[in-house]
Chain A
């Protein structure tokens, strides 16, 4: 390739870049920004959310929009990185003039975006962020999922009351906020209910060999082992624990929910329990219709993130409708007060504090599938 042709190629690439910058649509539309992790280490999470939100917005627009106005969705990628998420947020607020921000998906990104949204008084709702401290940043910050502490409490209650356990052990990731938060909540509630944490071990993100910790735990012979981590780590722990001969009941969290868990755990997740946002078994028409349509549109069954993304869009739509305008103050009020939304993950009632009041489910792995065991009311909060 000669220098001139290289130059032409370069100019073409740059031209494409410039032309591809989304042109803002004119007319009476409501602009909503979505920040999602479409690339990077957690890209499957981000893509699920993007797919589901796009689907929800298309539905709303097809049904005539909100109070007669169509929704225009602007999607930006944050690579799962806080710095990028902050840039994306500034761009949505300043350049796209969005009425509201949906996202980001993971807690570190949410924590970087929230101060910007709060300062600019643009309401934001993360459909999936579970970190406890998110909603304490300000009154413009909302979420569509439950908090980590709620999740940890539910699992401890289930273990102590429903399973009648008195002794449990914990193995957790000391370097991961999510894991630490869950462990704290589980431990506090379990002990409150008269149970005893007989042993506790920790590791750090990226570790792959847990034999030393598991040996120490196995010596105490606990009735149950709580593993609050993502599927990528929980899988190997499950396998190594069982191969070591540990026969404790395995307790997990929403991070286990992945099609890859079974392969990583060698099938040893069988019989284990997890808390999750929703179950595909719930016999609600909204849930079943969502699963069928999502599967038809994207060729794979929706995971919990897709379900939460869809519900996030529903909450936002309902709030926009209730507010009657895109005025930030009214929208903020509406987001904190909309009630009775029939979502995929159950009935959602928003709370001015920012976190919705909704149910969680307990699932058990039976024959390679997650079966619904129990549905926990929000009163359990």
Chain B
């Protein structure tokens, strides 16, 4: 067992190192703007997957309307920066807050449903958001919202991703998170022990929605153009996020992070394959799901502790041999 304060320090240094290395390589010209762009997208996807993990993985509610929250954050923040000249950070926060409010508004009635029914309700919610945006002339309607300034840098995306992971990790390890886990494991048992299941479900839903909204704000200022198409803010996007989540393993934050990064990079590596790209990518997914049906991390976490144990294990086995 490594001391908590020490691990905290090691983690901060590690995270700073990653950032430093990226910036150093970038300044040396070893990482092109293209690579940094891909890394920014990785960070945005990490936020999306981790926030969905809170809802689907830790609280056990099957939501497939995550792109709806992304859309709210993306469009509101873009509207604020383009039309109202609000500073970017304030716009991110506003986007997140409105998405969180929407999560609250949808969660209260919808979370009375379970399983398939909840999935359909959230899917419907996502489509409603998309259709509303489609008919809003102020944000471009069917034409799409163009002319969004490029404010999302790797630094901001990276920092937001870290904040998201830390907040959700601490939430999950708090009393609130334990209550959410109890709801996931057995709602009736949790209720009988005095856990207000609706309250915790809605809380997790709203928190997840908030972070999806911030991811949306980063996304629209990253892409500089939002189109109300299913692949950008509709169910196709929701499914993309869900795939990353399931591949990483429900209920594992490190799994979510790894899957989001890997599944963002693989399509880039495969881009030269033209038509075969969308055959190879699904095959990789199928292979992983066949051999690791519970996802890459299968509900486990990769932590400094487990790494330390692993190292010790290797050392001791080496000692014995």
Residues of A within 8 A of B (CB): 6, 9-10, 13, 17-18, 20-22, 38-40, 43, 47, 50, 75-77, 79-84, 86-88, 90-91, 93-95, 108, 111-112, 115-116, 119, 131, 133, 137, 174-177, 179-181, 204
Query: Given contacts A39-B278, A108-B227, is CB(A90)–CB(B33) below 8 Å?
Result: yes
Q: Mark B261-289, 1 if CB is under 8 A from A, else 0.
A: 00000111111111101101000100100
Shortest CB-to-CB span from B272 to chain A, Å, is 5
Shortest CB-to-CB span from A44 to chain B, Å, is 12
Of the candidates A18, A47, A83, A133, the one whose C-beta lies within 8 Å of that of B146 is: A133
By the criterion CB–CB under 8 Å, are A93 and B275 in contact?
Answer: no
B224 at the interface (CB under 8 A from A): yes
B320 at the interface (CB under 8 A from A): no
By the criterion CB–CB under 8 Å, are A180 and B270 in contact?
Answer: no
By the criterion CB–CB under 8 Å, are B225 and A82 in contact?
Answer: yes
Q: Mark B193-232, 1 if CB is under 8 A from A, else 0.
A: 0000000000000000000000000000001110111011
By the criterion CB–CB under 8 Å, are A204 and B131 in contact?
Answer: yes
Of the candidates B34, B232, B266, B272, the one whose C-beta lies within 8 Å of that of A83 is: B232
27 contacts across the A-B interface (CB closer than 8 A): A10-B287, A20-B272, A39-B277, A77-B271, A77-B278, A81-B231, A82-B227, A82-B229, A83-B223, A83-B231, A87-B41, A93-B34, A94-B33, A94-B34, A94-B35, A108-B144, A111-B144, A115-B146, A115-B224, A116-B224, A119-B150, A175-B135, A175-B228, A176-B142, A177-B143, A180-B142, A204-B131
Q: Main SS of the interface on chain B? A: helix
Q: CA A88 – CA B147 in complex, angstroms?
A: 19
Residues of A close to B110: CB separation below 8 A: none
By the criterion CB–CB under 8 Å, are B271 and A88 in contact?
Answer: yes
Of the candidates B38, B227, B287, the one whose C-beta lies within 8 Å of that of A111 is: B227
By the criterion CB–CB under 8 Å, are A83 and B142 in contact?
Answer: no
Q: CA A111 – CA B228 in complex, angstroms?
A: 12
Of the candidates B134, B143, B269, the one whose C-beta lies within 8 Å of that of A133 is: B143
Query: Given contacts A80-B231, A180-B142, is CB(A112)–CB(B274) below 8 Å?
Result: no
Of the candidates B144, B147, B287, the one whose C-beta lies within 8 Å of that of A177 is: B144
Q: Which residue of B lies closest to A17 (CB)?
A: B269
Q: CA A231 – CA B146 in complex, angstroms?
A: 27
Q: CA A39 – CA B227 in complex, angstroms?
A: 19
Residues of B close to A88: CB separation below 8 A: 271
By the criterion CB–CB under 8 Å, are B134 and A17 in contact?
Answer: no
8 tightest A-B contacts by CB?
A94-B34, A94-B32, A39-B278, A90-B34, A108-B227, A177-B142, A81-B231, A177-B143
Shortest CB-to-CB span from B259 to chain A, Å, is 16
By the criterion CB–CB under 8 Å, are B34 and A91 in contact?
Answer: yes
By the criterion CB–CB under 8 Å, are A111 and B142 in contact?
Answer: no
By the criterion CB–CB under 8 Å, are B273 and A20 in contact?
Answer: yes
Q: CA A38 – CA B266 in complex, angstroms?
A: 17
Shortest CB-to-CB span from B192 to chain A, Å, is 43
By the criterion CB–CB under 8 Å, are A38 and B274 in contact?
Answer: yes
Q: CA A133 – CA B146 in complex, angstroms?
A: 9
Residues of A close to B275: CB separation below 8 A: 38-39, 43, 47, 77
Residues of A close to B273: CB separation below 8 A: 20, 77
Q: CA A137 – CA B146 in complex, angstroms?
A: 9
Residues of B close to A87: CB separation below 8 A: 34, 37-38, 41, 268, 271
Query: Given contacts A39-B275, A108-B144, is CB(A17)–CB(B34) below 8 Å?
Result: no
Q: CA A83 – CA B269 in complex, angstroms?
A: 15
Shortest CB-to-CB span from B182 to chain A, Å, is 36
Which B125-157 residues sit within 8 Å CB-CB of chain A?
131, 134-135, 141-144, 146-147, 150
Residues of B close to A47: CB separation below 8 A: 275
Q: Which residue of A lies closest to B273 (CB)?
A: A20
Residues of B close to A9: CB separation below 8 A: 287
Q: CA A3 – CA B114 in complex, angstroms?
A: 37
Shortest CB-to-CB span from B40 to chain A, Å, is 10
By the criterion CB–CB under 8 Å, are B271 and A76 in contact?
Answer: yes
Residues of A close to B34: CB separation below 8 A: 87, 90-91, 93-95
By the criterion CB–CB under 8 Å, are B134 and A82 in contact?
Answer: no
By the criterion CB–CB under 8 Å, are B268 and A82 in contact?
Answer: no
Q: Which residue of A lies closest to B231 (CB)?
A: A81
Interface centre among B227, B270, B280 (most CB of A within 10 A): B227
Residues of B close to A86: CB separation below 8 A: 37, 223
Q: CA A138 – CA B224 in complex, angstroms?
A: 14
Shortest CB-to-CB span from B124 to chain A, Å, is 14
Which B144-195 residues sit within 8 Å CB-CB of chain A?
144, 146-147, 150
Q: Which residue of B lies closest to A108 (CB)?
A: B227
Q: Which residue of A lies closest to B227 (CB)?
A: A108
Shortest CB-to-CB span from A141 to chain B, Å, is 12
Q: Which residue of A lies closest to B275 (CB)?
A: A38
Which B275-321 residues sit within 8 Å CB-CB of chain A?
275, 277-278, 280, 284, 287, 291
Q: CA A6 – CA B273 in complex, angstroms?
A: 23
Shortest CB-to-CB span from A286 to chain B, Å, is 28
Query: Given contacts A39-B277, A115-B225, is CB(A81)–CB(B272) below 8 Å?
Result: no
- Given A111-B144, A175-B131, 13 more A-B residue pairs with CB atoms under 8 Å apart are A13-B280, A38-B274, A39-B278, A40-B231, A76-B274, A82-B223, A87-B268, A91-B271, A93-B33, A94-B32, A112-B224, A115-B150, A116-B224
Of the candidates B32, B232, B267, B274, the one whose C-beta lies within 8 Å of that of A75 is: B274
Q: CA A175 – CA B224 in complex, angstroms?
A: 21
By the criterion CB–CB under 8 Å, are B272 and A84 in contact?
Answer: no
Shortest CB-to-CB span from A110 to chain B, Å, is 9
Shortest CB-to-CB span from B81 to chain A, Å, is 14
By the criterion CB–CB under 8 Å, are A77 and B274 in contact?
Answer: yes
Q: Mark B226-265, 1 if CB is under 8 A from A, else 0.
A: 0111011000000000000000000000000000000000
Residues of A close to B268: CB separation below 8 A: 87, 91
By the criterion CB–CB under 8 Å, are A77 and B277 in contact?
Answer: yes
Q: Which residue of A lies closest to B134 (CB)?
A: A175
Shortest CB-to-CB span from A348 to chain B, Å, is 26
